[in-house]
Amino acid sequence: MSYLHNIGQYFLMIKQIFRKPTKWSVMRHLILKDIDDLIINSIGIVSFIAFFVGGVVTIQTALNMTNPLIPKSLVGFATRQSVILEFAPTFISIIMAGKVGSFITSSIGTMRVTEQIDALEVMGINAINYLVFPKFIALMLYPFLISIAMFLGIIGGMAACFYGGFSSVDDYIAGIQMDFIPFHMVYAFIKTFVFAFLLATIPSYYGYYMKGGALEVGKASTTSFVWTSVMIILFNYILTQMLLSS
């Protein structure tokens, strides 16, 4: 029954996010701070991982294409499909569940432990809107991060292809352009927006409703990472089935 209680409490929290909003002069600064914490500060790690994993995808694809009848351009095609459809939206989101999700849970959880949330509620402020809504708005810029990951993943693949001698840059670019389906980009960004919503709300839920002291903040961060990752994988399956299986 605790699972049903948590699910119900989670949806009630989502409803509360949009009720009794904090005045804009205060909210603007909170949103800008969260954009800096959650999006801008994540560009470095996302760029690093995307570039090198794109290179690894290319190397593994090229090494498994041993048949001389297979055109070299398929290396670029396979890298593009892997990066755009799955790696950038899903793999990066799971990494962000660890980085951003843990940050959100620990920051809100620390406020709960130090009774700052209780102080907000005593002052008549909707604490859920004050704490969670800026993170929700900041993570609406999450597709910007995924766009960087897509671009650098493909560039990393090109670098690996060229310096590893697996194929020429012209063949790789021809593969990137081959049979491109624009809807795949739409699919990737639909997933990205759903994952952004999960990244903003699930860690916030575990931070806001945690109980105990400083030790429980760490436990809540771990739990939020696990459940955010589980829900990302689950929604990845559902959205792929809905959008690509027709």
pLDDT per position as a tens digit, 160-185: 887 877 777 788 888 888 888 889 89
Residue whose structure tokens are 């794109």: 54
pLDDT of residue 1: 58
Domain housing 218: 23-244
CB atoms within 10 A of CB 236: 18
CB atoms within 10 A of CB 66: 7
Alpha helices in the chain (DSSP H): 2-17, 24-34, 43-64, 73-82, 92-113, 116-122, 127-138, 142-164, 169-177, 183-208, 214-244
pLDDT of residue 197: 93
Do the domain assignments include residue 189?
yes
Do the domain assignments include residue 12?
no
Compute CA 236 distance to the chain's CA centroid, rounded to the nearest angstrom: 12
pLDDT of residue 21: 80
Tens digit of pLDDT at every position of the chain (246 positions): 577 888 888 888 888 888 888 788 888 998 999 999 889 999 999 999 999 998 888 888 888 877 777 777 788 888 888 889 888 889 999 999 999 989 999 998 888 888 888 888 888 888 888 888 999 999 999 999 999 999 999 999 888 887 877 777 788 888 888 888 889 899 999 999 999 999 999 999 988 888 877 788 888 888 899 999 999 999 999 999 988 876
The number of folded domains in the chain is 1
Q: Which of 79, 52, 237, 67 is nearest to 172 (CA)?
A: 79
Q: Supply the Cα-derived Rg of the chain in whole angstroms.
A: 21
Whether this prediction's pTM lies above 0.85 is answered by: yes
Do the domain assignments include residue 4?
no
Residues 6+ away with beta carbon under 8 Å from 194: 235, 239
Q: Which of 241, 245, 236 is nearest to 86 (CA)?
A: 236
| C-beta separation of 101 from 225 below 8 A | yes
Do the domain assignments include residue 9?
no
Do the domain assignments include residue 7?
no
Do the domain assignments include residue 174?
yes
Do the domain assignments include residue 234?
yes
Do the domain assignments include residue 13?
no
| C-beta separation of 43 from 141 below 8 A | no
